[in-house]
Amino acid sequence: KAGVTQTPRYLIKTRGQQVTLSCSPISGHRSVSWYQQTPGQGLQFLFEYFSETQRNKGNFPGRFSGRQFSNSRSEMNVSTLELGDSALYLCASVGTSRPDTQYFGPGTRLTVL
């Protein structure tokens, strides 16, 4: 099986712009979670989607949003980018055979100038 894929891998934006990141889970996995990783705050949970519904949400402002499509692919959007949004954004998918194990993609490195 192919692993979790994330596009793009690298992105440079300027303050005030918006950005959309994409995540394709492992085939058959219906849960997708997003995490932000920064040197200062570490790894923090953003949100989780299951069957196109947001099931959990972390403590992030409303500028961070996401969605999941019927094929389980997920996107996250950040509007009005701030310098502090520079981070590695990771998504992870979970399947039914090992429901406690999250499989992570390689991440998207976002730099906000």
Partner 1 sequence: SQQGEEDPQALSIQEGENATMNCSYKTSINNLQWYRQNSGRGLVHLILIRSNEREKHSGRLRVTLDTSKKSSSLLITASRAADTASYFCATDDNAGNMLTFGGGTRLMVKP
For residues 20 and 103, which CB has a smaller minimum distance to partner 1 in the complex? 103
Q: How far is the CB of 41 from partner 1 (least distance, A)?
A: 8
Q: How far is the CB of 32 from partner 1 (least distance, A)?
A: 9
Contact in structure between 91 and 4 (CB atoms under 8 Å): yes
Rule CB under 8 A: choose which of 19, 21, 24, 33 binds partner 1: 33
Residues in 48-67 at the binding interface with partner 1, rule: CB under 8 A: 48, 50, 55-56, 58-59
Nearest of 97, 83, 107 to residue 33 by alpha carbon: 107
Separation between Cα atoms, residue 9 and residue 89, nearest integer Å: 10
Distance from the Cα of residue 47 to its chain's centroid: 8
Nearest of 60, 62, 33 to residue 48 by alpha carbon: 33
Q: Which residues are near partner 1 by CB under 8 A?
A: 4, 31, 33, 35, 37, 41-45, 48, 50, 55-56, 58-59, 88, 90, 92, 94, 100-107, 109
